[in-house]
Amino acid sequence: MARLRTCSLTWAALIILLLPGSLEECGHISVSAPIVHLGDPITASCIIKQNCSHLDLEPQILWRLGAELQPGDRQQRLSDGSQQSTITLPHLNHTRAFLSCCLNWGNSLQILDQVELRAGYPPAVPRNLSCLMNLTTSSLICQWEPGPETHLPTSFTLKSFKSRGNCQTQGDSIMDCVPEDGQSHCSIPRRHLLLYQNMGIWVQAENALGTSMSPQLCLEPMDVVKLEPPMLRTMDPSPEAAPPQAGCLQLCWEPWQPALHINQKCELRHKPQSGEASWALVGPLPLEALRYELCGLLPATAYTLQIRCIRWPLPGHWSNWSPSLELRTTERAPAVRLNTWWRQRQLDPRTVQLFWKPVPLEEDSGQIQGYVVSWRPSGQAGAILPLCNTTELSCTFPLPSEAQEVALVAYNSAGTSCPTPVVFSESRGPALTRLHAMARDPHSLWVGWEPPSPWPRGYVIEWGLSPPSTSNSNKTWRMEQNGSATGFLLQENIRPFQLYEITVTPLYQDAMGPSQHVYAYSQEMAPRHAPELHLKHIGKTWAQLEWVPEPPELGKSPLTHYTIFWTNAQNQSFSTILNASSRGFVLHGLEPASLYHIHLMAASQAGTTNGTVLTLMTLIPEGSELHILLGLFGLLLLLSCLCGTAWLCCSPSRKNPLWPSVPDPAHSSLGSWVPTIMEEEAFQLPGLGMPPITKLTVLEEDEKKPLPWESHNSSETCGLPTLVQTYVLQGDLRAASAQPQSQSGTSNQVLYGQLLGSPTSPGPEHYLRCDSTQPLLAGITPSPKSYENLWFQASPLGTLVTPAPSQEDDCVFGPLLDFPLLQGIRVHGVEGLESF
């Protein structure tokens, strides 16, 4: 297939395209199915008619799906001369797309024909079909859930029929109800209904790929009737009607007019407007009463109310909740008991400070707007004199001299509480004993006591910060009604680390006992500081410490233990724990003449505190002990030196680097050293029975270049021969003869003698003992002096003759046999050895 060229048209041009007049009737597309399941294959063909004479004989047909070019299957000429091209789309994954048949026309791609392809799913079965009879519109309203999206145009139809039985037999059909597009509910008008006759109802869904129907619903229209809710309103005030009781609401409602002939029941719900309270349901309410008094509510509280109704006792549906109605309950007189306590001022005994606390007697005790303290004179009947009117919980007033009792009441707009008498009795009852207090946590105090005998009817407990201020406004008090109680937990107005004064007073019938006081901290603190350390005695390896415990303080927790820490000069720390009763401690295991830093930590349940740091130094050892230590150190050093010397002397590998191992020529065993050499090189010297132990190589003398030592004119000068062979004592003899001699002073080869001779010289061979820096016999001097090398000659009688010394001081010539090591020398190139 020829190469496809990119289309120059935009996507919008795919929908509406103006074709040239000559191409309008040239092409036509045929598809296997314009609507398929999403993902199914689809086949299409495009035919170009023969009458398109302006086209090429073999025009190339191109396919395009949407904006993308698609390869066609094949293109062929039909019998009538037209061209046909086919295409197969294996998976149509577009819910909606346009398939186009195109030709290359000039420099652009022209569309001959196009078709719309749709893909989707068949409709699902509608679910949750339900119907309600609305009396307001006089129609049966049914609704359903259409199911998942089909991607295809889908129509829903509500179908129904009349039936006299249980919908098993179908009667007259009812006109279909078709909802608006996108809606899933439909209404059947009243004229097509029989309100008290069964009818079958179902929903049918249909699109190009299939049809589905919901389960059938059989019902009687009046059994699914839904009423409209009544309208709540407040009752009009009437002089004949009694006012509502405290905590009650009076309300009424107006029923829905179209449902007056239907028996129904209603229910009411309410909740307070403030807070997050939930709805409380009240019902059933009789509809014919049309009014109701709702009680059990909180006084002086605003409420929200709603009502709804249902057909009853026949089947039906609850109506919606009515619009809200807001009402407020009335006040009620305070229903409280007032616990009282009084105190006389010290500076003015006739001035009384009266305290009280309201205790609710019911859950809804009513709001309190104020308190009144009054006194009724005995001589004036019905006269009440107010002494104090306040909204606080205390009052200070001058007590009349003849007054022994006053009355206290709480009031609001609905009335007053029952009067509480306050009798100013004297303190003539027995006192309680063993009053004590302790902190439970930072915000509570426990106060305990032993009740007196006889038991009182109650106790008054007061507490406040100490020392007390001139005004007792910071005092908090409460009354314990149980006379047999032995303690109470104070949790009100308690702050941490504060000192409180607690007062407990027993109350008897018409009397009270004397007050008892106790002081306590709400939370005890750690010790202010730890005791100061003192050094009592010290030694070379120990130190004795002591300290004086701090006296107990009010509000400070008692000590539980001590901890001693000490650190040496190397910053190593040590510690030990002691009981709280300890007064001293001895540190052992210290180092002599060492510096230490010591501190003491005091601990309690409230925390820990560190003391000051004590620095000390242990004693220096005495002179005798120092001498013993130095002697032991010297002995150890001497022993180490001896061991090192013995190790060096006994180890050959350690001895040679210090001095070379040179054999003694006088006691040498070189005579037994027979090197392995070739047979033709071995010979015996006449008159000598020793085997040769080395060899001497004779070099030819260069006559043209005299040696430096031959440059002297005097015949008496010692001329050195050209044959120079170094005698090698250490190493392999054969290897030594093959390697050049090293002239380094640190070499293992030792130069201690040279043989001098020349094959052209008629005189005897000479030897030369030179100044070597290597020791021969470990003598005093490393090499003999020049006068120690003598020239020995053999006389006919076998005696040695010493010739006169030469002019050269560096060497002395003599017979070879006089040198012990040269007795077995093998000589090459020298024939005259008669002097041997």
Residue 521's pLDDT band, with cuts at 50, 70 and 90, is confident
Separation CA 748–CA 739 (nearest Å): 13
Do 157 and 208 reside in the same domain of the chain? Answer: yes
Is position 170 within any domain? Answer: yes
Is position 826 within any domain? Answer: no
**CB–CB of 309/269 below 8 Å?**
no
**Mean pLDDT for the stretch of residues 790-819:** 45
pLDDT, position 546: 93
Separation CA 141–CA 131 (nearest Å): 5
- Output the domain CATH number for residue 75: 2.60.40.10
Q: What are phi and psi of 722, to 5 degrees?
A: -80, -20
Is position 265 within any domain? Answer: yes
Is position 804 within any domain? Answer: no
Domain boundary among 120, 135, 155: 120
Mean pLDDT score across all residues of the chain:
75
Separation CA 9–CA 324 (nearest Å): 64
Domain boundary among 273, 299, 328: 328
**CB–CB of 65/112 below 8 Å?**
no
pLDDT, position 323: 92
Separation CA 89–CA 777 (nearest Å): 115
pLDDT, position 812: 42
**CB–CB of 28/47 below 8 Å?**
yes
**Mean pLDDT for the stretch of residues 409-424:** 86
Taking 60 as the threshold, does the pLDDT of residue 306 lie above it? yes
Q: Choose the most confident range, by mean pLDDT, from 431-445, 560-574, 682-696.
A: 560-574
636 vs 413: which has the higher pLDDT: 636
Residue 636's pLDDT band, with cuts at 50, 70 and 90, is very high
Could you give the C-alpha distances from 178 to 208, 217, 408, in angstroms and in order?
A: 18, 17, 79
Do 32 and 83 reside in the same domain of the chain? Answer: yes
Is position 494 within any domain? Answer: yes
Separation CA 235–CA 292 (nearest Å): 10
Give the residue from 249, 253, 257, 277 showing the smallest Cα distance to 266: 253
**Mean pLDDT for the stretch of residues 147-155:** 89
pLDDT, position 658: 57
Residue 204's pLDDT band, with cuts at 50, 70 and 90, is very high
Residue 471's pLDDT band, with cuts at 50, 70 and 90, is very low
pLDDT, position 137: 83
Taking 80 as the threshold, does the pLDDT of residue 489 lie above it? yes
Helix and strand tally (H, E) in the chain? 4, 54
Give the residue from 737, 742, 735, 707 showing the smallest Cα distance to 722: 707
State pLDDT tens for residues 92-139.
Answer: 888 899 999 888 877 788 888 889 999 999 999 999 999 988 888 888
DSSP annotation of 402 reads T
**CB–CB of 356/338 below 8 Å?**
yes
**CB–CB of 50/89 below 8 Å?**
no
Do 131 and 221 reside in the same domain of the chain? Answer: yes
State pLDDT tens for residues 425-458.
Answer: 766 778 888 898 888 888 888 999 998 888 888 8
Q: Structure tokens of 679? A: 């047979």
Separation CA 421–CA 510 (nearest Å): 12
Angle formed at CA 168 by CA 165 and CA 170, multiple of 5 degrees: 85
Is position 632 within any domain? Answer: no
**CB–CB of 368/328 below 8 Å?**
no
Residue 144's pLDDT band, with cuts at 50, 70 and 90, is very high
Q: Structure tokens of 151? A: 């991607």
Do 116 and 145 reside in the same domain of the chain? Answer: no
391 Cβ neighbours under 8 A, 6+ residues apart: 369, 370, 371
Separation CA 397–CA 376 (nearest Å): 15
**Residue 828 DSSP SS3:** coil
**CB–CB of 827/734 below 8 Å?**
no
Q: Structure tokens of 580? A: 């709280």
Taking 50 as the threshold, does the pLDDT of residue 268 lie above it? yes
Do 111 and 44 reside in the same domain of the chain? Answer: yes
DSSP annotation of 135 reads T
Is position 418 within any domain? Answer: no
pLDDT, position 241: 66
Q: Choose the most confident range, by mean pLDDT, from 407-411, 730-734, 758-762, 796-800.
A: 407-411
Q: Structure tokens of 695? A: 């060899």
Structural domain count of the chain: 6
**CB–CB of 88/41 below 8 Å?**
yes
Do 287 and 375 reside in the same domain of the chain? Answer: no
Give the residue from 303, 292, 308, 307 showing the smallest Cα distance to 326: 303
**Mean pLDDT for the stretch of residues 316-335:** 88
Residue 463: exposed, middle, or buried by beta-carbon count in 10 A (0-12, 13-18, 19+)? buried
**Mean pLDDT for the stretch of residues 420-426:** 81
- Output the domain CATH number for residue 343: 2.60.40
623 Cβ neighbours under 8 A, 6+ residues apart: none
Residue 578 belongs to what domain range?
533-618
Q: How many CB atoms lie within 10 A of CB 12?
A: 8
Hey, what amino acid is at 448? G
Hey, what amino acid is at 89? L
Do 196 and 276 reside in the same domain of the chain? Answer: no
The percentage of residues in the chain with a pLDDT greater than 90, rounded to a whole number, is 14
Give the residue from 97, 118, 104 showing the smallest Cα distance to 37: 118
Taking 70 as the threshold, does the pLDDT of residue 731 lie above it? no
Residue 564's pLDDT band, with cuts at 50, 70 and 90, is very high
pLDDT, position 799: 42
Do 405 and 437 reside in the same domain of the chain? Answer: no
Handedness of CA 335, 337, 343, 349 (dihedral sign): positive
pLDDT, position 804: 46
Do 517 and 541 reside in the same domain of the chain? Answer: no
Separation CA 27–CA 409 (nearest Å): 107
Is position 13 within any domain? Answer: no
DSSP string, 220-239: -GGGGEEPPP-EEEEPPP-S
Separation CA 205–CA 157 (nearest Å): 7
pLDDT, position 719: 42
State pLDDT tens for residues 51-65.
Answer: 764 566 677 888 888
According to DSSP H, which parts of 661-739 are helical? 733-738
Do 310 and 285 reside in the same domain of the chain? Answer: yes
Taking 90 as the threshold, does the pLDDT of residue 248 lie above it? no
**Residue 448 DSSP SS3:** strand
**CB–CB of 521/555 below 8 Å?**
yes
Q: Quick one: three-class SS letters along 492-540?
A: CCCCCCCEEEEEEEEEECCEECCCEEEEEECCCECCCCCCCEEEEEECC
pLDDT, position 265: 86
Residue with tokens 């350390």: 533
Do 210 and 180 reside in the same domain of the chain? Answer: yes
Domain boundary among 82, 100, 120: 120
Separation CA 441–CA 431 (nearest Å): 29
Give the residue from 112, 116, 114 showing the smallest Cα distance to 25: 112
Hey, what amino acid is at 340? T
Do 321 and 343 reside in the same domain of the chain? Answer: no
**CB–CB of 561/603 below 8 Å?**
yes
